Amino acid sequence: MSGSTGAVRACPSTSVGTHEPDSGAGTAFHRWPHVSVLSLAPLQGAPACGRGHVRNVLAEWGLTRLAEDAELLASELLTNAVRASFRTGNPVCLHLLADREQLLIEVWDHNPAEPRPRHAGYEDESGRGFTVIEAVASRWGCQRVSPALKVVWAELLCEGGLR
């Protein structure tokens, strides 16, 4: 028994840097002064754990003014990732990356399907996640990292920068 859950391998490292979102073939590289990574099992409680993590990390980084929107974005992204990953049992991973201009919230999952925004009807109890993300984030997107690994991200602008 190795004691390893495999979660470390499931969460790509961002300690050196990460590709900038929307940078095409990954030619742009960005170094982030603030990075946090949290691996979560694809269980119903993962979005709530992610919200608490976001709130605590942003308080440490002096970005509490972004916490409410960031928690909402992380929750919506994690909810979608958990639903996409539940059957595989593979963990989902929440990355928070910040510099003076932006906070990037990334959620990684091992589902090969692309996210599909849909329009929810008035009485539907779900299906509004991407509508919420679009309304709150300054921009968002999805990038395929490998055939079975993708990252869906949302950006918030840091007006006033970090402390």
pLDDT per residue over 82-111, tens digit each? 988 878 888 999 999 999 899 999 999 988
Q: How high does pLDDT run on average in the chain? A: 80
Q: Which pLDDT score, from 0 to 100, does residue 4 have?
A: 32
Residue 94 tokens read as: 């929440």
Strands 102-109 and 92-98: antiparallel
Among all chains, which residue has been given the structure tokens 């929750």? Answer: 75
Contact (Cβ atoms closer than 8 angstroms) between residue 80 and residue 153: no
* CATH number of the domain within which 125 lies: 3.30.565.10
How far is residue 87's CA from residue 112's CA, in Å, rounded to a whole number? 12
Residue 19 tokens read as: 């590709």
Position 19 in a domain: no
How far is residue 23's CA from residue 84's CA, in Å, rounded to a whole number? 25
Beta bridge partners of 154: 105, 140
Domain count, the chain: 1
Give the pLDDT band of residue 46 (cuts 50, 70, 90).
very high
H-run or E-run covering 144: strand 139-146
Give the pLDDT band of residue 58 (cuts 50, 70, 90).
very high
Give the pLDDT band of residue 163 (cuts 50, 70, 90).
low
Position 2 in a domain: no
Mean pLDDT throughout 63-73?
96
Name the residue range of residue 64's domain. 41-157
Give the pLDDT band of residue 26 (cuts 50, 70, 90).
very low
